[in-house]
Amino acid sequence: MTQQDTFSAPSSSFARADAFSPALVRLVERVQPGIAQVRRGDRGAGTGIVWRADGYIITNYHVVAGNGIAIQVLLNDGRTFDAKIVESNPRIDLALLKIAANDLKAIPAGDSAKLRVGELVFAIGHPWGQRGVVTAGIFSKMSEVKLRGSDETLQYIQSDVLIAPGNSGGPLLNADGEVVGINAMIFGGDLAVSIPANTVSKWLANLPRRQPVPGIEAYPVDLPAGLRQSADQPVGLLIASVKPDKEDVLVGDVLLSADGKTLDDVATLLDVLARKNSTDEVQLRLVRGGEIQTISVHCGVLEGEVLENEAT
């Protein structure tokens, strides 16, 4: 073996590494604006992924679980927003949040079914509160677990990326910078577990489509057990966003009725408004700050440009 033969392999490896490293740096820089920190009161923080540019954030359910806990989303650019849980599914450990922003940079979702054993994957999150930590690993296999109380099974990704508390809800990325999984936990043997991106997309696609409301963005929600009896109804309309010039109705209000008609869907509110002029008043019974109130507002407060309101 000649001296040239002895050193040719390391030289080739260094050349490939030299090309890969800048590419990885560019990948991380590209996706960082789409990765947020999700804070749950004083009970710690996890990670969230900008799923849509108009303020929808995906994270793990266990990151935001708990009644009456304030949730905040801290973006990569330093902005902080109060967040509302739009939808959640504890069984598959997913939650969809909404913040009042429409200029976000979403990370594209990849096809998790195309993952191949040995493929490089990357995790970005905030372990132990350290923001934007990047780790790399190898996709090991796709496994299944049976959901509690059901015959259904849930697929999950196993890889050896290093994750820790604070990574939960963050992205597992492929080499193209696409989200192929949502990091959730660690099983024995130092294998990280991630929820496949295809599972997330399927869950979102099957959510009930919410109809638009003029001037506001609202959708039906189940009332907490403590409010159902006093409100005398199981469902209300949660206000997720309000046009800037609308001050009578606040984000976080839950509308119970309009002019005495129970609001268990958006169509009922639209029907009430359709029968009035913008200068007319409508009596709104609502939950604000945990208390039931009745207010009178001009219909014009609820009118304006129709807002897109689909979390898919």
Q: Are 164 and 208 in contact (CB under 8 A)?
A: no
Residues 283-305, mean pLDDT to the nearest whole number? 79
37: Cα within 13 Å, side-chain hemisphere: 20
pLDDT tens for residues 265-275?
777 787 677 65
Domains defined for the chain, CATH in brackets: 112-205 (2.40.10.10), 216-302 (2.30.42.10)
pLDDT, residue 3, reads 47
pLDDT classification of 298: cutoffs 50, 70, 90: confident
Distances (CA, A) of 19 to 12, 16, 122, 166: 11, 5, 17, 31
The reported pLDDT for the residue numbered 249 is: 83
Q: What is the mean pLDDT of the chain?
A: 82
Given a contact cutoff of 8 angstroms between Cβ atoms, the answer to whether 304 and 215 are in contact is: yes
Residue 36 has pLDDT above 50, yes or no: yes
pLDDT digits (tens, 9 = 90+) for 206-216: 776 544 455 67
Q: Which one is predicted more confidently, 65 or 82?
A: 82
Alpha-carbon dihedral angle through residues 175, 146, 45, 121, given to the nearest 10 degrees: -10
pLDDT at 38 over 50: yes
Least confident range from 36-40, 111-115, 308-312: namely 308-312
Q: Cα separation of 294 and 208, whole Å? A: 28
pLDDT tens-digit profile of 80-100?
A: 999 999 889 988 899 999 999
> What does the block give as tokens for 278?
């913008």
Residues marked active site are found at 62, 93, 168
Distance in angstroms (rounded) separating the CA atoms of residues 216 and 85: 17
Question: Percent of the chain scored above 90 by pLDDT?
Answer: 41
Residue reference for tokens 């992924």: 49
Question: How many Cβ atoms from other residues are within 10 Å of residue 16's Cβ?
Answer: 9
Helix (H) or strand (E) holding 187: strand 179-187
Instruction: Answer with the residue of higher pLDDT: 286 or 68.
Output: 286
Q: Which of 18-22, 116-120, 182-186 has the lowest mean pLDDT?
A: 18-22
What CA dihedral angle connects 48, 50, 56 and 57, to 10 degrees?
-10
- 25 compared with 300, residue with greater pLDDT: 25
What pTM does this model have? 0.63
Amino acid present at 172: L
Q: Is the pLDDT of residue 309 over 60?
A: no
Mean pLDDT to the nearest integer, 66-74: 84
